[in-house]
A and B are shown apart, each in its own frame.
Chain A
Amino acid sequence: MPPDRGTMRSGMDQATSLAAVALDDVAITFGPKVGGYTAVRGIDLSVRPGEFVAIVGPTGSGKSTILNAAAGLLKPSAGRVTIFGSDLPGLNLRAGYLFQQDALMPWKTALDNVAVALESKGVSRSDAVQRARDWLGRVGLAAFVDRYPHMLSGGQRKRVALAQVLIRDPEILLMDEPFGPLDAQTRQIMGNLLLSLWAADRKAVMFVTHDLEEAIALADRVVLMSAGPAAGIIGDFPVELPRPRDIAEVRMEPTFHRIHKEIWASLRVEVQKAYSQGENT
Protein backbone atom coordinates (compact mmCIF):
# COMPACT_ATOMS: atom_id res chain seq x y z
CA MET A 1 0.00 0.00 0.00
CA PRO A 2 2.30 2.83 -1.17
CA PRO A 3 1.06 6.25 -0.03
CA ASP A 4 0.17 8.92 -2.54
CA ARG A 5 3.50 10.52 -3.32
CA GLY A 6 2.04 13.90 -4.22
CA THR A 7 0.32 14.53 -0.92
CA MET A 8 3.28 13.24 1.02
CA ARG A 9 5.61 15.77 -0.65
CA SER A 10 3.38 18.77 -0.14
CA GLY A 11 2.86 17.81 3.47
CA MET A 12 6.61 17.62 3.86
CA ASP A 13 7.26 21.04 2.35
CA GLN A 14 5.15 22.59 5.05
CA ALA A 15 6.91 20.67 7.73
CA THR A 16 10.45 21.02 6.42
CA SER A 17 11.28 24.13 8.42
CA LEU A 18 9.91 22.49 11.56
CA ALA A 19 11.17 19.00 11.00
CA ALA A 20 13.78 17.74 13.45
CA VAL A 21 15.19 15.52 10.71
CA ALA A 22 14.33 15.82 7.04
CA LEU A 23 15.74 13.64 4.28
CA ASP A 24 14.99 15.04 0.85
CA ASP A 25 15.43 12.71 -2.14
CA VAL A 26 18.46 11.11 -0.48
CA ALA A 27 20.47 8.39 -2.21
CA ILE A 28 23.49 6.61 -0.77
CA THR A 29 25.95 4.68 -2.89
CA PHE A 30 28.89 2.72 -1.51
CA GLY A 31 32.07 2.34 -3.53
CA PRO A 32 32.62 4.05 -6.91
CA LYS A 33 30.02 6.49 -8.23
CA VAL A 34 29.47 4.27 -11.29
CA GLY A 35 29.09 0.57 -10.59
CA GLY A 36 29.03 1.02 -6.83
CA TYR A 37 26.37 -0.48 -4.59
CA THR A 38 23.35 1.79 -4.20
CA ALA A 39 21.89 1.01 -0.81
CA VAL A 40 19.00 3.49 -0.80
CA ARG A 41 17.52 5.86 -3.36
CA GLY A 42 14.86 8.56 -3.42
CA ILE A 43 14.34 8.69 0.33
CA ASP A 44 11.93 11.38 1.50
CA LEU A 45 11.38 11.27 5.21
CA SER A 46 10.75 13.87 7.84
CA VAL A 47 10.49 13.48 11.58
CA ARG A 48 8.73 16.21 13.55
CA PRO A 49 10.02 17.33 16.95
CA GLY A 50 8.56 15.06 19.59
CA GLU A 51 7.63 12.38 17.08
CA PHE A 52 8.63 8.74 17.51
CA VAL A 53 9.19 7.20 14.09
CA ALA A 54 10.07 3.54 13.64
CA ILE A 55 11.72 2.39 10.43
CA VAL A 56 11.01 -1.21 9.52
CA GLY A 57 12.23 -3.27 6.62
CA PRO A 58 13.75 -6.61 5.67
CA THR A 59 17.46 -7.35 6.13
CA GLY A 60 19.64 -5.26 3.83
CA SER A 61 16.95 -2.67 3.15
CA GLY A 62 19.21 0.21 4.14
CA LYS A 63 17.43 1.07 7.39
CA SER A 64 20.68 1.69 9.19
CA THR A 65 22.05 3.51 6.17
CA ILE A 66 19.47 6.28 6.33
CA LEU A 67 19.92 6.47 10.08
CA ASN A 68 23.66 6.98 9.57
CA ALA A 69 22.86 9.68 7.01
CA ALA A 70 20.72 11.45 9.61
CA ALA A 71 23.60 11.10 12.10
CA GLY A 72 26.11 12.53 9.63
CA LEU A 73 28.18 9.35 9.81
CA LEU A 74 27.45 8.80 6.10
CA LYS A 75 27.35 11.51 3.47
CA PRO A 76 24.49 11.12 1.00
CA SER A 77 25.65 10.79 -2.61
CA ALA A 78 22.54 12.71 -3.68
CA GLY A 79 19.82 14.72 -1.96
CA ARG A 80 19.79 16.80 1.22
CA VAL A 81 19.71 16.11 4.91
CA THR A 82 18.43 18.98 7.05
CA ILE A 83 18.27 19.17 10.83
CA PHE A 84 15.73 21.69 12.15
CA GLY A 85 15.79 23.34 8.76
CA SER A 86 19.54 23.76 8.33
CA ASP A 87 21.87 21.62 6.24
CA LEU A 88 23.93 19.00 8.05
CA PRO A 89 27.60 19.96 7.58
CA GLY A 90 29.30 17.01 9.28
CA LEU A 91 28.38 14.96 12.32
CA ASN A 92 24.93 15.64 13.70
CA LEU A 93 25.80 16.70 17.23
CA ARG A 94 22.21 17.64 18.04
CA ALA A 95 21.45 13.94 17.89
CA GLY A 96 22.25 11.06 20.22
CA TYR A 97 22.97 7.70 18.60
CA LEU A 98 22.29 4.36 20.24
CA PHE A 99 24.21 1.64 18.41
CA GLN A 100 23.20 -1.94 17.89
CA GLN A 101 26.63 -3.25 18.89
CA ASP A 102 28.43 -2.60 22.14
CA ALA A 103 29.80 0.89 21.81
CA LEU A 104 30.88 1.56 25.39
CA MET A 105 34.54 2.20 26.04
CA PRO A 106 35.62 -1.10 27.66
CA TRP A 107 38.39 0.62 29.62
CA LYS A 108 36.01 2.91 31.48
CA THR A 109 33.58 2.06 34.26
CA ALA A 110 29.85 2.56 33.70
CA LEU A 111 30.10 5.85 35.59
CA ASP A 112 33.05 7.12 33.55
CA ASN A 113 31.42 6.02 30.30
CA VAL A 114 28.40 8.18 31.09
CA ALA A 115 30.33 11.07 32.63
CA VAL A 116 32.68 11.38 29.68
CA ALA A 117 29.68 12.10 27.44
CA LEU A 118 29.15 15.31 29.41
CA GLU A 119 32.82 16.18 29.77
CA SER A 120 33.07 16.45 26.00
CA LYS A 121 30.42 19.16 26.28
CA GLY A 122 32.66 21.14 28.61
CA VAL A 123 30.95 20.19 31.88
CA SER A 124 33.37 19.97 34.80
CA ARG A 125 34.45 16.54 35.92
CA SER A 126 32.81 16.61 39.35
CA ASP A 127 29.54 17.94 37.97
CA ALA A 128 29.59 15.35 35.17
CA VAL A 129 30.19 12.50 37.62
CA GLN A 130 27.33 13.62 39.83
CA ARG A 131 24.89 13.83 36.93
CA ALA A 132 26.13 10.51 35.52
CA ARG A 133 25.40 8.88 38.86
CA ASP A 134 21.91 10.34 38.72
CA TRP A 135 21.33 9.07 35.18
CA LEU A 136 22.61 5.59 35.98
CA GLY A 137 20.08 5.59 38.82
CA ARG A 138 17.33 6.52 36.40
CA VAL A 139 18.13 3.55 34.16
CA GLY A 140 18.21 1.32 37.22
CA LEU A 141 21.96 0.81 37.54
CA ALA A 142 22.68 2.73 40.75
CA ALA A 143 24.37 -0.33 42.21
CA PHE A 144 26.59 -0.94 39.17
CA VAL A 145 28.30 2.42 38.65
CA ASP A 146 31.79 1.07 39.26
CA ARG A 147 31.50 -1.97 37.01
CA TYR A 148 33.43 -2.25 33.76
CA PRO A 149 31.37 -3.13 30.69
CA HIS A 150 32.55 -6.75 30.59
CA MET A 151 31.15 -7.24 34.12
CA LEU A 152 27.67 -6.17 33.01
CA SER A 153 25.02 -8.16 31.18
CA GLY A 154 23.94 -7.25 27.66
CA GLY A 155 20.83 -5.49 28.95
CA GLN A 156 22.80 -3.58 31.57
CA ARG A 157 25.30 -2.44 28.95
CA LYS A 158 22.39 -1.13 26.87
CA ARG A 159 21.12 0.79 29.89
CA VAL A 160 24.54 2.39 30.31
CA ALA A 161 24.57 3.27 26.61
CA LEU A 162 21.09 4.77 26.94
CA ALA A 163 22.20 6.90 29.90
CA GLN A 164 25.32 7.89 27.97
CA VAL A 165 23.20 9.18 25.08
CA LEU A 166 20.41 10.79 27.12
CA ILE A 167 22.66 12.63 29.59
CA ARG A 168 23.70 14.92 26.73
CA ASP A 169 20.05 15.86 26.33
CA PRO A 170 20.06 15.57 22.54
CA GLU A 171 17.18 17.02 20.55
CA ILE A 172 17.03 13.95 18.34
CA LEU A 173 17.46 10.28 19.23
CA LEU A 174 18.73 7.88 16.59
CA MET A 175 18.50 4.21 17.43
CA ASP A 176 19.83 1.36 15.32
CA GLU A 177 18.15 -1.86 16.46
CA PRO A 178 19.34 -1.00 19.96
CA PHE A 179 17.63 -3.95 21.61
CA GLY A 180 18.37 -6.41 18.81
CA PRO A 181 20.90 -8.57 20.65
CA LEU A 182 18.81 -8.83 23.84
CA ASP A 183 16.46 -11.63 24.86
CA ALA A 184 12.69 -11.15 24.58
CA GLN A 185 11.99 -10.27 28.23
CA THR A 186 14.88 -7.82 28.43
CA ARG A 187 13.69 -6.19 25.21
CA GLN A 188 10.29 -5.55 26.73
CA ILE A 189 11.78 -4.06 29.86
CA MET A 190 14.13 -1.90 27.81
CA GLY A 191 11.26 -0.81 25.56
CA ASN A 192 9.19 0.33 28.53
CA LEU A 193 12.21 2.07 30.04
CA LEU A 194 12.80 3.89 26.77
CA LEU A 195 9.16 4.97 26.53
CA SER A 196 9.06 6.25 30.10
CA LEU A 197 12.30 8.22 29.64
CA TRP A 198 11.08 9.54 26.29
CA ALA A 199 7.72 10.61 27.72
CA ALA A 200 9.49 12.98 30.12
CA ASP A 201 10.69 15.33 27.37
CA ARG A 202 9.55 13.97 24.02
CA LYS A 203 12.47 14.16 21.64
CA ALA A 204 12.30 13.33 17.97
CA VAL A 205 13.15 9.64 17.59
CA MET A 206 14.21 7.57 14.60
CA PHE A 207 14.11 3.94 15.69
CA VAL A 208 15.34 1.28 13.28
CA THR A 209 14.21 -2.29 13.83
CA HIS A 210 13.34 -5.41 11.89
CA ASP A 211 10.76 -6.33 14.53
CA LEU A 212 7.38 -5.04 13.40
CA GLU A 213 5.70 -5.64 16.76
CA GLU A 214 8.36 -3.64 18.56
CA ALA A 215 7.97 -0.85 16.00
CA ILE A 216 4.19 -0.58 16.43
CA ALA A 217 4.36 -0.85 20.21
CA LEU A 218 6.87 2.01 20.47
CA ALA A 219 6.19 4.43 17.63
CA ASP A 220 3.78 7.15 16.53
CA ARG A 221 4.51 6.26 12.92
CA VAL A 222 5.95 3.22 11.20
CA VAL A 223 7.90 3.75 7.99
CA LEU A 224 8.30 0.70 5.79
CA MET A 225 11.29 0.16 3.52
CA SER A 226 11.52 -2.08 0.47
CA ALA A 227 14.10 -4.81 0.01
CA GLY A 228 17.54 -3.64 -1.22
CA PRO A 229 19.49 -2.80 -3.29
CA ALA A 230 18.31 0.74 -4.09
CA ALA A 231 15.69 0.42 -1.37
CA GLY A 232 13.08 3.10 -0.89
CA ILE A 233 10.21 3.96 1.42
CA ILE A 234 7.10 2.10 0.37
CA GLY A 235 4.76 2.81 3.23
CA ASP A 236 4.10 5.24 6.04
CA PHE A 237 1.59 4.12 8.68
CA PRO A 238 0.34 6.18 11.61
CA VAL A 239 -0.04 4.26 14.87
CA GLU A 240 -3.13 5.50 16.67
CA LEU A 241 -2.57 3.86 20.00
CA PRO A 242 -2.99 5.91 23.16
CA ARG A 243 -0.02 6.77 25.37
CA PRO A 244 1.31 5.96 27.87
CA ARG A 245 1.68 2.44 26.57
CA ASP A 246 2.94 -0.77 28.08
CA ILE A 247 4.90 -2.73 25.50
CA ALA A 248 3.50 -6.07 26.59
CA GLU A 249 -0.12 -5.00 27.06
CA VAL A 250 -0.46 -2.85 23.98
CA ARG A 251 -0.03 -5.98 21.89
CA MET A 252 -3.42 -7.23 23.05
CA GLU A 253 -5.29 -4.22 21.68
CA PRO A 254 -7.48 -4.74 18.60
CA THR A 255 -6.05 -1.56 17.03
CA PHE A 256 -2.57 -3.08 17.36
CA HIS A 257 -3.73 -6.16 15.44
CA ARG A 258 -5.36 -4.11 12.72
CA ILE A 259 -2.18 -2.01 12.18
CA HIS A 260 0.04 -5.06 12.37
CA LYS A 261 -2.04 -6.86 9.76
CA GLU A 262 -2.02 -3.86 7.47
CA ILE A 263 1.75 -3.31 7.59
CA TRP A 264 2.61 -7.00 7.52
CA ALA A 265 0.73 -7.40 4.22
CA SER A 266 3.30 -5.07 2.62
CA LEU A 267 6.29 -6.13 4.67
CA ARG A 268 5.82 -9.82 3.91
CA VAL A 269 6.29 -9.22 0.18
CA GLU A 270 9.55 -7.37 0.82
CA VAL A 271 10.83 -9.95 3.26
CA GLN A 272 10.22 -12.67 0.70
CA LYS A 273 12.00 -10.60 -1.96
CA ALA A 274 14.99 -10.06 0.30
CA TYR A 275 15.01 -13.73 1.22
CA SER A 276 14.93 -14.98 -2.38
CA GLN A 277 17.74 -12.55 -3.26
CA GLY A 278 19.74 -13.97 -0.43
CA GLU A 279 19.20 -17.45 -1.81
CA ASN A 280 20.20 -16.47 -5.33
CA THR A 281 23.47 -14.83 -4.44
Chain B
Amino acid sequence: MPRLKLTVLQIGVGLIFLLLWHVLTVYPITGTPKQVQFFFSTPLDVLKRCWTLFASGEIWGHLWITLVETILAFLIGAGGGIIFGFLFARKELLAAVFDPYIKAANALPRVVLAPIFALWFGLGIWSKVALGFTLVFFIVFFNVYQGVREVSPVVLANARMLGMNERQLLRHVYWPSALTWVFSSLHTSVGFALVGAVVGEYLGSSAGLGYKIHEAESVFDVTGVFAGMLILSVFVILIDMLVTRIENGFLVWRPQTSLAGRT
Protein backbone atom coordinates (compact mmCIF):
# COMPACT_ATOMS: atom_id res chain seq x y z
CA MET B 1 0.00 0.00 0.00
CA PRO B 2 2.51 2.65 -1.15
CA ARG B 3 -0.14 5.40 -1.42
CA LEU B 4 -1.07 5.15 2.24
CA LYS B 5 2.58 4.90 3.23
CA LEU B 6 3.36 8.05 1.28
CA THR B 7 0.53 9.97 2.94
CA VAL B 8 1.69 8.84 6.39
CA LEU B 9 5.25 9.94 5.63
CA GLN B 10 4.07 13.29 4.27
CA ILE B 11 2.01 13.99 7.38
CA GLY B 12 4.91 12.77 9.51
CA VAL B 13 7.27 15.37 8.08
CA GLY B 14 4.76 18.11 8.90
CA LEU B 15 4.24 16.83 12.44
CA ILE B 16 7.96 16.61 13.15
CA PHE B 17 8.41 20.16 11.91
CA LEU B 18 5.57 21.42 14.14
CA LEU B 19 6.87 19.43 17.09
CA LEU B 20 10.38 20.89 16.72
CA TRP B 21 8.93 24.37 16.40
CA HIS B 22 6.81 23.82 19.50
CA VAL B 23 9.62 22.37 21.62
CA LEU B 24 12.14 25.04 20.62
CA THR B 25 9.78 27.93 21.38
CA VAL B 26 7.92 26.72 24.45
CA TYR B 27 10.81 25.23 26.49
CA PRO B 28 13.86 27.29 27.48
CA ILE B 29 16.37 25.61 25.18
CA THR B 30 17.74 28.42 23.02
CA GLY B 31 16.70 31.29 25.30
CA THR B 32 13.84 32.46 27.44
CA PRO B 33 10.57 31.34 25.84
CA LYS B 34 9.09 34.86 25.92
CA GLN B 35 11.97 36.25 23.90
CA VAL B 36 12.03 33.37 21.42
CA GLN B 37 8.27 33.56 20.98
CA PHE B 38 8.50 37.23 20.06
CA PHE B 39 10.55 36.24 17.01
CA PHE B 40 9.10 32.83 16.15
CA SER B 41 5.69 32.59 17.87
CA THR B 42 4.50 29.01 18.57
CA PRO B 43 2.53 26.61 16.38
CA LEU B 44 -0.36 26.49 18.87
CA ASP B 45 -0.60 30.29 18.98
CA VAL B 46 -0.63 30.43 15.19
CA LEU B 47 -3.39 27.83 15.00
CA LYS B 48 -5.32 29.61 17.71
CA ARG B 49 -5.02 32.88 15.78
CA CYS B 50 -6.25 31.19 12.60
CA TRP B 51 -9.20 29.84 14.53
CA THR B 52 -10.15 33.26 15.89
CA LEU B 53 -9.77 34.81 12.46
CA PHE B 54 -12.23 32.34 11.00
CA ALA B 55 -14.51 32.17 14.07
CA SER B 56 -14.93 35.93 14.20
CA GLY B 57 -15.60 35.87 10.46
CA GLU B 58 -13.02 38.61 9.98
CA ILE B 59 -10.91 36.69 7.45
CA TRP B 60 -13.69 35.79 5.01
CA GLY B 61 -13.91 39.29 3.56
CA HIS B 62 -10.17 39.41 3.01
CA LEU B 63 -10.13 35.95 1.41
CA TRP B 64 -12.97 36.98 -0.88
CA ILE B 65 -11.15 40.13 -2.02
CA THR B 66 -7.96 38.17 -2.76
CA LEU B 67 -9.93 35.48 -4.59
CA VAL B 68 -11.73 38.02 -6.74
CA GLU B 69 -8.46 39.76 -7.60
CA THR B 70 -6.83 36.44 -8.47
CA ILE B 71 -9.69 35.30 -10.69
CA LEU B 72 -9.95 38.63 -12.49
CA ALA B 73 -6.18 38.83 -13.02
CA PHE B 74 -6.16 35.29 -14.36
CA LEU B 75 -9.14 35.66 -16.67
CA ILE B 76 -8.10 38.99 -18.15
CA GLY B 77 -4.44 37.96 -18.37
CA ALA B 78 -5.22 34.58 -19.95
CA GLY B 79 -7.72 36.12 -22.35
CA GLY B 80 -5.23 38.75 -23.48
CA GLY B 81 -2.45 36.17 -23.71
CA ILE B 82 -4.57 33.85 -25.84
CA ILE B 83 -5.69 36.58 -28.25
CA PHE B 84 -2.23 38.07 -28.70
CA GLY B 85 -0.54 34.67 -28.75
CA PHE B 86 -2.76 33.59 -31.64
CA LEU B 87 -2.37 36.87 -33.46
CA PHE B 88 1.42 36.89 -33.22
CA ALA B 89 1.80 33.21 -34.11
CA ARG B 90 -0.32 33.62 -37.25
CA LYS B 91 1.20 36.95 -38.34
CA GLU B 92 4.95 36.53 -38.72
CA LEU B 93 5.62 40.24 -39.32
CA LEU B 94 3.79 41.34 -36.18
CA ALA B 95 5.80 38.89 -34.09
CA ALA B 96 9.09 40.00 -35.64
CA VAL B 97 8.39 43.72 -35.15
CA PHE B 98 7.21 43.46 -31.56
CA ASP B 99 9.69 40.81 -30.45
CA PRO B 100 12.20 43.14 -28.69
CA TYR B 101 9.43 45.10 -26.95
CA ILE B 102 7.76 41.99 -25.64
CA LYS B 103 11.05 40.66 -24.35
CA ALA B 104 11.80 44.00 -22.68
CA ALA B 105 8.36 44.18 -21.09
CA ASN B 106 8.61 40.63 -19.85
CA ALA B 107 12.08 41.21 -18.39
CA LEU B 108 10.82 44.04 -16.17
CA PRO B 109 10.42 43.05 -12.49
CA ARG B 110 6.70 43.60 -11.87
CA VAL B 111 7.11 44.84 -8.29
CA VAL B 112 8.34 48.20 -9.55
CA LEU B 113 5.02 48.59 -11.38
CA ALA B 114 2.92 48.22 -8.23
CA PRO B 115 3.17 51.88 -7.08
CA ILE B 116 2.43 53.10 -10.61
CA PHE B 117 -0.64 50.88 -10.82
CA ALA B 118 -1.76 52.13 -7.39
CA LEU B 119 -1.44 55.65 -8.77
CA TRP B 120 -3.37 54.82 -11.96
CA PHE B 121 -6.04 52.48 -10.68
CA GLY B 122 -6.32 53.52 -7.03
CA LEU B 123 -5.93 51.41 -3.91
CA GLY B 124 -8.92 49.15 -4.67
CA ILE B 125 -8.84 45.78 -6.40
CA TRP B 126 -8.01 47.01 -9.91
CA SER B 127 -4.40 47.94 -9.18
CA LYS B 128 -3.89 44.35 -7.90
CA VAL B 129 -5.65 42.90 -10.91
CA ALA B 130 -3.35 44.94 -13.13
CA LEU B 131 -0.27 43.61 -11.36
CA GLY B 132 -1.50 40.01 -11.66
CA PHE B 133 -2.36 40.65 -15.30
CA THR B 134 1.22 41.64 -16.17
CA LEU B 135 2.39 38.32 -14.72
CA VAL B 136 -0.25 36.03 -16.20
CA PHE B 137 -0.38 37.65 -19.61
CA PHE B 138 3.19 36.81 -20.57
CA ILE B 139 3.07 33.20 -19.39
CA VAL B 140 -0.11 32.50 -21.35
CA PHE B 141 1.06 34.57 -24.30
CA PHE B 142 4.31 32.66 -24.73
CA ASN B 143 2.58 29.30 -24.30
CA VAL B 144 -0.14 30.01 -26.83
CA TYR B 145 2.42 31.41 -29.25
CA GLN B 146 4.51 28.26 -28.88
CA GLY B 147 1.46 26.00 -29.05
CA VAL B 148 0.20 27.48 -32.28
CA ARG B 149 3.64 27.46 -33.89
CA GLU B 150 4.46 23.92 -32.90
CA VAL B 151 1.37 22.21 -34.21
CA SER B 152 2.51 18.93 -35.73
CA PRO B 153 3.13 19.63 -39.45
CA VAL B 154 1.68 16.25 -40.37
CA VAL B 155 -1.56 16.85 -38.47
CA LEU B 156 -1.76 20.27 -40.07
CA ALA B 157 -1.09 18.97 -43.60
CA ASN B 158 -3.68 16.24 -43.05
CA ALA B 159 -6.27 18.75 -41.86
CA ARG B 160 -5.62 20.92 -44.90
CA MET B 161 -5.91 17.92 -47.23
CA LEU B 162 -9.26 17.21 -45.56
CA GLY B 163 -10.39 20.52 -46.96
CA MET B 164 -10.42 22.65 -43.81
CA ASN B 165 -10.39 26.39 -44.34
CA GLU B 166 -8.51 28.82 -42.10
CA ARG B 167 -11.41 29.17 -39.67
CA GLN B 168 -11.85 25.41 -39.35
CA LEU B 169 -8.11 24.92 -38.90
CA LEU B 170 -8.24 27.45 -36.07
CA ARG B 171 -11.09 25.61 -34.39
CA HIS B 172 -10.04 22.00 -34.95
CA VAL B 173 -6.24 22.19 -34.97
CA TYR B 174 -4.64 25.41 -33.70
CA TRP B 175 -6.99 26.04 -30.80
CA PRO B 176 -6.85 22.53 -29.23
CA SER B 177 -3.10 22.46 -29.69
CA ALA B 178 -2.65 25.85 -28.05
CA LEU B 179 -5.04 24.86 -25.28
CA THR B 180 -2.80 22.00 -24.20
CA TRP B 181 0.03 24.47 -23.78
CA VAL B 182 -2.19 26.86 -21.84
CA PHE B 183 -3.20 24.04 -19.53
CA SER B 184 0.35 22.86 -19.05
CA SER B 185 1.10 26.36 -17.73
CA LEU B 186 -2.18 26.74 -15.86
CA HIS B 187 -0.71 25.96 -12.45
CA THR B 188 2.02 28.51 -12.96
CA SER B 189 -0.27 31.21 -14.29
CA VAL B 190 -2.91 30.81 -11.58
CA GLY B 191 -0.12 30.90 -9.01
CA PHE B 192 1.21 34.09 -10.52
CA ALA B 193 -2.23 35.67 -10.54
CA LEU B 194 -2.34 35.08 -6.79
CA VAL B 195 1.19 36.41 -6.33
CA GLY B 196 0.19 39.58 -8.18
CA ALA B 197 -2.86 40.02 -5.98
CA VAL B 198 -1.06 39.40 -2.68
CA VAL B 199 2.01 41.50 -3.52
CA GLY B 200 -0.28 44.31 -4.65
CA GLU B 201 -2.25 44.14 -1.41
CA TYR B 202 0.96 44.01 0.57
CA LEU B 203 2.30 47.17 -1.02
CA GLY B 204 -0.81 49.25 -0.57
CA SER B 205 -4.43 48.44 0.10
CA SER B 206 -7.06 48.17 2.79
CA ALA B 207 -8.23 44.60 2.29
CA GLY B 208 -7.04 41.13 1.30
CA LEU B 209 -4.65 38.52 2.63
CA GLY B 210 -1.59 40.52 1.63
CA TYR B 211 -2.98 43.46 3.59
CA LYS B 212 -3.57 41.29 6.67
CA ILE B 213 0.01 40.04 6.60
CA HIS B 214 1.38 43.52 6.12
CA GLU B 215 -0.77 44.84 8.95
CA ALA B 216 0.57 42.20 11.33
CA GLU B 217 4.16 42.82 10.25
CA SER B 218 3.94 46.54 10.89
CA VAL B 219 3.21 45.93 14.60
CA PHE B 220 5.72 43.03 14.92
CA ASP B 221 2.84 40.60 15.37
CA VAL B 222 4.75 37.48 14.30
CA THR B 223 1.83 35.22 15.18
CA GLY B 224 -0.40 37.23 12.88
CA VAL B 225 2.14 37.02 10.06
CA PHE B 226 2.46 33.26 10.36
CA ALA B 227 -1.30 32.84 10.60
CA GLY B 228 -1.71 34.87 7.42
CA MET B 229 0.95 32.80 5.67
CA LEU B 230 -0.70 29.55 6.78
CA ILE B 231 -4.10 30.65 5.50
CA LEU B 232 -2.50 31.79 2.25
CA SER B 233 -0.78 28.40 1.77
CA VAL B 234 -3.98 26.44 2.32
CA PHE B 235 -5.76 28.84 -0.03
CA VAL B 236 -3.13 28.20 -2.74
CA ILE B 237 -3.37 24.42 -2.31
CA LEU B 238 -7.15 24.54 -2.65
CA ILE B 239 -6.93 26.63 -5.83
CA ASP B 240 -4.30 24.28 -7.23
CA MET B 241 -6.52 21.26 -6.58
CA LEU B 242 -9.34 23.00 -8.42
CA VAL B 243 -7.02 23.71 -11.36
CA THR B 244 -5.98 20.04 -11.52
CA ARG B 245 -9.63 18.99 -11.69
CA ILE B 246 -10.38 21.44 -14.49
CA GLU B 247 -7.24 20.31 -16.33
CA ASN B 248 -8.18 16.63 -16.15
CA GLY B 249 -11.64 17.45 -17.45
CA PHE B 250 -10.28 19.32 -20.46
CA LEU B 251 -7.41 17.05 -21.42
CA VAL B 252 -9.11 13.66 -21.38
CA TRP B 253 -7.58 12.86 -24.75
CA ARG B 254 -4.03 12.97 -23.44
CA PRO B 255 -2.22 9.81 -22.37
CA GLN B 256 -2.01 9.66 -18.58
CA THR B 257 1.77 9.32 -18.49
CA SER B 258 2.40 12.63 -20.17
CA LEU B 259 -0.18 14.27 -17.92
CA ALA B 260 1.76 13.20 -14.89
CA GLY B 261 5.03 14.26 -16.49
CA ARG B 262 3.84 17.78 -17.19
CA THR B 263 2.58 18.92 -13.84
**Given A102-B154, A103-B155, A104-B155, also A91-B172 (CB < 8 A):** no
Interchain CB contact (< 8 A) of B158 among A103, A109, A148: A103
Residue total for A at the interface (Cβ-Cβ under 8 A): 29
Say which one of A32-40, A113-121, A184-192 lies at the interface with B. Answer: A113-121
Q: What CA separation (Å) do A107 and B173 show in the bound complex?
A: 9
Nearest chain-B residue to A150 (Cβ)?
B255
Q: Indicate with 1 or 0, residue by residue over B223-263, a CB within 8 angstroms of chain A CB atoms.
A: 00000000000000000000000000000111100000000
A95 interface residue per 8 A CB criterion: yes
B24 within 8 A of A: no
B residues 166-196 in Cβ contact with A at 8 Å: 168, 172-173, 176-177, 180
Taking a contact as CB atoms closer than 8 A, the residue among A99, A108, A109, A168 that contacts B163 in the complex is: A168
**Of listed A95, A96, A150, residue having the most chain B CB within 10 A:** A150
Main secondary structure of the interface of A (DSSP, over half): loop
- Whether B176 pairs with A97 at a CB distance below 8 angstroms is no
The interface residues of chain B, by DSSP majority, are classed as helix
Contact B254 A150 (CB under 8 A): yes
- Please tell me if B4 contacts chain A, counting CB pairs below 8 Å: no
Contacts of B255 in A (CB 8 A): 150
Residues in chain B near residue A91, CB distance under 8 A: 160-161
**Which listed residue (A71, A105, A117) contacts B155, Cβ 8 A?**
A105
Chain B's interface size range is 20 to 34
B172–A108 CB distance below 8 A: yes
Q: For the complex, is A93 an interface residue (Cβ under 8 Å from B)?
A: yes
**Could you tell me which residues of chain A, from 176 to 200, have a CB within 8 Å of some CB in chain B?**
none
Q: Which residue from A101, A116, A120, A161 sits with its C-beta under 8 Å from B165?
A: A120
Residues 143-201 of A contacting B (Cβ, < 8 Å): 148-150, 161, 164-165, 168
B157 in complex: contacting residue of A73, A105, A108, A148, CB < 8 Å:
A73
Give the residue name and chain of the B residue nearest to A103 (CB). Answer: B158
- Nearest opposing residue in chain B for A101, CB measure: B154
Interfacial residues of chain A within 44-78, with CB under 8 A of chain B in the complex: 71, 73
Q: Which residues of A contact B165 (CB under 8 A)?
A: 120
Q: Is B53 interfacial (CB 8 A cutoff)?
A: no
User: Which residues 198-216 of B have a CB within 8 angstroms of A?
Assistant: none
